[in-house]
Amino acid sequence: MQLLLDIGNTSIKWATWNGRQLGTTGSAIHFGALPIDLLAAWDELADIREILVARVGPESVLDAVARVAHARWDCPVTLIGTSAEAHGVRIAYAEPARLGVDRFLALIAAHAEHTGCKLIIDAGTAITYDLLLDDGTHLGGLILPGINLMRDTVLAGTQIPRYEPASTDQCWAADTAEAVAAASIQAPAALVERLWQRLQQETGTTPILLIAGGDAERLLPAVDLPAVQSPGLVLQGLSRFAEASDQDTD
């Protein structure tokens, strides 16, 4: 059995892979280390022969994973990176390594699971937007600060109180604090709609909208388009590499 890890800027998500499908899953805020509750959950895992890691977060978390892998399972840790082409997806970047591996794996998962052109949103610490054609061609993407980061940036050094929650059914506000909160959701939602419409115009088809990430539930109600909430895209992408690794060892 393999253990798949998605180490983000604030959280770590994991799943087991038995050679056919994802099994036990979990997630935790990492604060730059491996949380105790995560380690406790891993006590139940046996026969881990390899750990596959996608990392955009702190290297300290990866170092801790390597120590646990050696102590508990004496297994290798394989770090997955972005390449120009993999599993039917061709990256738009001239320097593929500059595309975050989380976005790379989400593209691979989306291509494997859905037909047609796709707009893939990952709403986390940052909000990423990627456009993918049906044949696996990555057109490129955009990055915005995440919802909380937008609010923090505007509110820093002011006396404006932090307002929660923000209304998603009203595009404007009649109060400064609420205006900041609402804009942090309405702005990224509007960009979703603009990119979706542009992709529709460019391809003459109806794009599939996939929204993932910890803030997906905050963003979804503000998007006036049919969307598929897609948690675990990065882990699903990692499972493609795990499957390939299984075939290599057969």
Q: 130 and 219 share a domain?
A: yes
* Residue 98 domain flag: no
* Residue 125 domain flag: yes
Q: 37 and 123 share a domain?
A: no
Q: 124 and 225 share a domain?
A: yes
Q: 56 and 128 share a domain?
A: no
Q: What is the DSSP letter of 133?
A: -
Asked whether the beta carbons of 41 and 26 are under 8 A apart, the reply is yes
How many structural domains comprise the chain? 2
Q: 135 and 216 share a domain?
A: yes
Q: 128 and 224 share a domain?
A: yes
Asked whether the beta carbons of 86 and 103 are under 8 A apart, the reply is no
Q: 17 and 69 share a domain?
A: yes
* Residue 91 domain flag: no
* Residue 238 domain flag: no
pLDDT number for residue 161: 87
pLDDT number for residue 248: 63
Q: 221 and 139 share a domain?
A: yes
Alpha helix (H) ranges present in 43-175?
59-68, 101-113, 147-155
Is 102 annotated in the active site?
A: yes
Q: 33 and 134 share a domain?
A: no
Q: 198 and 148 share a domain?
A: yes
Q: Sheet of 228-229: strands edge to edge? A: 138-145, 126-132, 118-123, 208-212, 228-229
Q: 198 and 132 share a domain?
A: yes
Instruction: Per-residue pLDDT tens, the chain, 250 aa: give them.
Output: 999 999 999 899 999 999 999 999 999 999 999 988 888 899 989 899 999 999 999 999 999 999 999 999 999 999 999 999 999 999 999 999 999 999 999 999 999 999 999 999 999 999 999 999 999 999 999 999 999 999 999 999 999 888 777 666 778 888 899 999 999 999 999 999 999 999 999 999 999 999 999 999 999 999 999 999 999 999 999 999 999 876 665 5
In 3-state terms, what secondary structure has residue 66?
helix
Q: 134 and 202 share a domain?
A: yes
pLDDT number for residue 207: 98
pLDDT number for residue 46: 85
Which entry of 37, 43, 74, 102 is annotated as an active-site residue? 102
CATH number reported for the structural domain that contains residue 202 in this entry = 3.30.420.40
* 20: CB partners within 8 A, 6+ apart: none
Of 79, 100, 131, at which residue does a domain stop? 79
* 210: CB partners within 8 A, 6+ apart: 106, 110, 114, 118, 119, 120, 121, 227, 228, 230, 233
Domain carrying residue 154: 115-232
